[in-house]
Chain A
């Protein structure tokens, strides 16, 4: 009964509260919308320009609603655009990047899972020290390793080859994957492992039957991190490969740096999207798990 009364007649205080509530909600959505526009416009600009005709871009500038739709620029960027003398577009570089990223991701993830398992569940004297040593690799600037890698790749006959880049990314990646997996496996109760050992399960059996089934959340994080990181890497790609052997990031820089007078924005936009697509797809499908896993275990 007491609750009916305030609703029946006008209550200035409650009206003010409602108004305040409305404006604060408005403010929240305004902020989000403003930033969403800032974040999305560059993406939309590139997508639109990859579909517009070059003459239209030249006339109306880069930021404009498309008046023409065609996929010629994509076909050119993929297969026939000329970069420094060769007219094969981006496809070779795209496959170079795949041939580099997929094996390096798989190998470094497997090694990281094994290392993390050992360093959390099969500790021995000095294992903490070894973990900290591996951790240092996370923080090394790539520039420190440039000269040693140049020498080593030369000795191994892997200069200007995708295999050389795979090797670099595996060695560099171990520290990240080990860190992620070790921090995740630490939270698996030791009693579980102890019980399995009493039942006679050995090193591999425990890994297969207990650790691996619990691993998908952290393996997703590791794979996404490694895949996007290696695919997007530029420094080693541009230093240790050239021309036909370059990964797509290095090729993109070569393509967009071409000092021609008329910039072919349509083809360059399509090329940029080709280079961005694989990590974007991975992120769109796995991003949810990535953020969850990253905040659960990786950053501590």
Chain B
């Protein structure tokens, strides 16, 4: 029996070594196109754009090296500074807002409510719809002549005022509210999954000790799902940095330039004004913003895995 086992593979290997070899190559061959595509997409494209950002390209890419001139002129530009300020403002409110709403909804649904699937579907459906659709519809609702303001005035409150998108100083809040509306369902889904994964014995123990529902959540349940908070925040911040569609459909960057975002500005520089070099510099700054968030997060993830590995 054992000799038979030993002999057959050896003989087979001798008989068809090239097929064996080909066999071990199959996974790499199958993987190769994806590796090539990803390598080009991630590295070649990034360095290409980096290079354009250091060149004097205007309407077409040219490769005369000008150092950091594009970055200097970008940061000297008032509109770019508005865009970056907007990004910080939007990211802060959007992330906190959608996490707060998402957590509230998740906790409410977690109270063993009737028709859980129905509630969940209602809160999640905006996720399936594009930012273009959401932005378009909300731009109508914000429209003072036809939307919410007109509706409330029609009910009898004749000096009611709700015209966020018509005012330079408030338009950004319209973008924030719409962003929260679109994505708090996503936060809810992740939080709900987290709440469901908490060890029920832990919750029971807290209740036996006489802790109130509020206290149980604050002291026992929420701390155990802390990593989910971070994951949701990181995912949302990425959405925020890449925000383009929502603003394009909702305010088109206006009134004036008040709701310009980095992504909008990149598009304008590259395709409306023919300043490719400076547009590429702005795109690199967006990448930098993503990296500022993601590098510490991934280091933290690696560190946590290692720590878990050490502790068994």
Supposing A147-B61, A295-B190 touch, asked if A283 and B127 sit within 8 A by C-beta, the answer is yes
The answer on a CB contact under 8 Å between A234 and B248 is: yes
The answer on a CB contact under 8 Å between B137 and A141 is: no
CB neighbours of A39 from chain B (8 A): 122-123, 125-126, 181, 185
The answer on a CB contact under 8 Å between B189 and A63 is: no
Asked if A136 lies at the interface with its beta carbon under 8 angstroms from chain B, I say yes
Q: Mark A137-150, 1 if CB is under 8 A from B, else 0.
A: 10111111111110
Supposing A32-B119, A256-B249, A288-B117 touch, asked if A234 and B131 sit within 8 A by C-beta, the answer is yes
The answer on a CB contact under 8 Å between A265 and B140 is: yes
Q: Which residue of A lies closest to B284 (CB)?
A: A144
Least Cβ distance of A122 to chain B in Å? 4
Count residues of chain A with CB under 8 A from any CB of chain B: 84
Asked if A77 lies at the interface with its beta carbon under 8 angstroms from chain B, I say no
Q: Mark A113-137, 1 if CB is under 8 A from B, else 0.
A: 0110011001010000010011011
A284 and B28 alpha carbons, distance in the complex (Å): 38
Supposing A28-B113, A137-B41 touch, asked if A151 and B61 sit within 8 A by C-beta, the answer is yes
CB neighbours of B173 from chain A (8 A): none
Which one of B131, B141, B271 contacts A45 once the chains associate, using CB atoms below 8 Å?
A: B141
Majority secondary structure of chain B interface residues (helix, strand, loop or mixed): helix
Least Cβ distance of A246 to chain B in Å? 12
CB neighbours of A61 from chain B (8 A): 146-147, 150-151, 154
Asked if B82 lies at the interface with its beta carbon under 8 angstroms from chain A, I say no
Residues of B within 8 A of A (CB): 23, 26-28, 30-31, 33-35, 37-42, 44-46, 48-49, 52, 61, 101, 104-105, 108-109, 111, 113, 117, 119-134, 136-141, 143, 146-148, 150-151, 154, 181, 185, 189-190, 193, 213, 231, 235, 238, 241-242, 244-245, 248-249, 252, 263, 266-267, 270-271, 276, 279-280, 282-284, 286-287, 290, 294
Residues of A within 8 A of B (CB): 24-25, 28-29, 31-32, 35-36, 38-40, 42-43, 45-46, 57, 60-64, 111, 114-115, 118-119, 122, 124, 130, 133-134, 136-137, 139-149, 151, 170-172, 174-175, 178, 202-204, 228, 231-235, 238-239, 249, 252-253, 256-257, 263, 265, 268, 272, 275-276, 279-280, 282-284, 287-288, 291, 294-295, 299
